[in-house]
Amino acid sequence: MAAADVNMDFEQARFNMIEQQIRPWEVLDPEVLELLSVIRREDFVPAAHRALAFADLELPIGSSANPSQTMLAPKTEARLLQEVDVRSTDRVLEIGTGTGYMAALLAAKAEYVHTVEIDPALAETARANLQRAGAANVAVDVGDGSRGWAAHAPYDVIVVSASMPVLPDEFLSQLKVGGRLVAIVGEDPVMEAQLVTRTGENAYSTINLFETVVAPLDNAVQREAFVF
């Protein structure tokens, strides 16, 4: 009986998350809402924070060696997923795997996902989580993705699951023409989620989606200092 009660609590919390956090943040794509209903976010949250799986906040997921790493808030993940508009034929790059939740959401929509995590222990956790969730079309690579991941470029979609002071040119060059990228660009206290579309060989369009503040990507390229 207790186990059933716990499951019911999670289902109610998931429903509340979608209705009270996700929809009010202009996430209305039925496919995205369905994915949030069926992919169990609580299975990707560290055990110590499982009760907060659906809370409107970033959750710590880092190790003692790298305590700054966090899992994006649910509404941020959902909005980025909606705006980048993943299609079933898309090959996707995610930078910042974390525990694998965003990779699982992307994999449910895409043909294949390459996701890159700098922390080997987190990458191992993500692999286990993704395998348990049945996400077979994802490869978790360990490495520094702060300038993208050229190994499998070009990509139809790139998602950066952390913030960066600036968006390095390497990310843009790794997009296919027609490809879309979402990233959170800027520095605390001013960051903007951006959708960049490659419209031609040397042409890009950028739409500012929303303002937010999230944890920075490890080794993120820094803005060049002005020299007087």
* Helix 120-132 with 101-109: angle, nearest 10 deg: 50
Place of tokens 């490869």: 139
Q: Is the pLDDT of residue 39 over 90?
A: yes
Domains of the chain (ranges, CATH numbers): 57-212 (3.40.50.150)
Which amino acid, one-letter code, is at 119? D
pLDDT at site 68: 75
pLDDT at site 13: 94
Chain Cα centroid distance, residue 53 = 15
Instruction: Write the burial class of residue 40 (CB in 10 Å: 0-12 exposed, 13-18 middle, 19+ buried).
Output: middle
pLDDT digits (tens, 9 = 90+) for 124-172: 999 999 999 999 999 999 999 999 999 999 999 999 999 999 999 999 9
Peptide bond into 30 cis (omega under 30): no
Instruction: Write the burial class of residue 165 (CB in 10 Å: 0-12 exposed, 13-18 middle, 19+ buried).
Output: middle
DSSP run (H or E) holding 35: helix 30-38
For the chain, the average pLDDT equals: 92
Task: Determine the Cα–Cα distance for residues 16 and 9; give it in Å rounded to an integer.
Answer: 10
Higher pLDDT, 226 or 54: 54
- pTM for the full predicted model: 0.93
Task: Determine the Cα–Cα distance for residues 119 and 125; give it in Å rounded to an integer.
Answer: 10
Dihedral angle at the C-alpha atoms of 66, 67, 72, 74, nearest 10 degrees? 130
